[in-house]
Amino acid sequence: MVTRTGQYTSPTGFGKFSYDIDTDTGTFKVYLDVNWDFSDAPDVPETVYKEQFASNVKTAWDRKFKFQKGDLELEPTFHVRENAHGLKCAVKSGHGQSALIASDPPSLVLYESAWKFNDEIAGVSPTALSRAAAATNLHQRIGQAVNEASQISLTRTGDTWSVDDDDGKLAALAEKLKAMPVKQFPIVIKATSGAKGKAQTLVNTVQSFLRDAGVTYPIRIQPTKTFPKLKIPFRKHKTQADAVIELPDLNYGSELFTAHWYRYRVADHEFGHLLGLPDEYTLYPKDSSIEKAHSEWKRLCVAAGVRANKIPSKEGDMVNNLSIMCCGWVTSECHFVTLWDALTKTAGPGWQIVRGTESATVTQ
């Protein structure tokens, strides 16, 4: 019997696991260490929640893809362990926006309802039509929140612009966006100016305000450069400016809408982050601790000889499909590249990722 053990830290900036490999029995046991925090979920039964987490992880991930090298074959299985040195996972009561938080070190936030399917949370039957109706309702909720803070005032002090939020409307919008159950309809921050670079600075300032408030909701920015106005020489630049936040109309033929026709469980997706996998529906903010997560993940995909699933081309754009790291439930070869990396570092090169029990395919 050839048994190898090891520990792996993902180059994406999050994700860490231990593993045992037995080439005689064809087993590849992956141990995920989680540092649980239930301080914000006093009514959630900890033991039951942890057991649900571990059980559903196995259903969603076990043996979906495997590794081959000549006559050798390894089937990965996943085992969740409690460890104070593992990735912090904060559980909160009720329902909200579960997310990977780009803190240092990164952490997960899971809500009490994370193991429910999206249609169960919305209170609708598991049909495409019912989920489409739920998507329309969600879009309306987001639109109402945006309308309450659509006009943003900014003040310039020296060369620095800052948001004027004395009335707390933008801070309130941040809290509402953080509480949205899914992150599917990007908001847009707009500003116009004839001064070089000013519109870009204004939208960046508003976006930074929301990101600093902990908003991971998708945001697009739309600065518009107009023709410069004639002004009297030596007149000082204005110290006040405005930006606008909007929610685009719902396009019933777009991927954003049809994404809600998929059935998924949030926690199955969030578990992928424990493996070091990034979100595929959005990019991460620049200058964050996980800014390079997607480039590192794609580098591993190239090394493993598999195709990376589609991701947005720029920050603020969205991708929606059946991928478990997007808004669906389907695993792909690219979701096993961190395991492949650990395997090749332990058992040498030549391993290939091949399909196991996964029967569906993500359409690019």
pLDDT at 56: 85
> Any idea which residue has 């081959």 for tokens?
68
Residue 98, phi-psi category: left (phi > 0), alpha (psi -120 to 50), beta (remainder): beta
Given a cut of 50, whether residue 122 has pLDDT beyond it is no
| Segment among 233-237, 271-275, 304-308, 352-356 with least mean pLDDT | 233-237
CA 102 to chain centre: 10
Given a cut of 60, whether residue 117 has pLDDT beyond it is no
CA distance 41 to 112: 8
Q: If you ran DSSP here, which 8-state letter would residue 330 be given?
A: B
Residue 180 · residue 210 · CB < 8 Å: no
pTM across the whole model: 0.67
- Where is 174: in which H helix or E strand? helix 169-178
Given a cut of 90, whether residue 52 has pLDDT beyond it is no
- In DSSP terms, 353 is beta-bridged to 67
Domains parsed from the chain with CATH numbers? 3-117+268-355 (no CATH), 128-246 (3.30.1330)
Q: What is the SS3 assignment for 64?
A: coil
Beta-carbon contacts of 194 under 8 Å, excluding residues fewer than 6 positions away, are 225, 226, 227, 228, 229
Given a cut of 70, whether residue 228 has pLDDT beyond it is no
What mean pLDDT is predicted for residues 38-63? 90
Burial of 48 (0-12, 13-18, 19+ CB in 10 A): exposed
Given a cut of 50, whether residue 33 has pLDDT beyond it is yes
> Any idea which residue has 């004395």 for tokens?
166
pLDDT at 256: 43
What does the pLDDT look like over 249-294, one tens digit per residue? 765 444 444 444 455 677 888 899 989 999 998 888 787 778 899 9
Tell me which residue of 77, 84, 180 sits closest to 134, measured CA to CA. Answer: 180
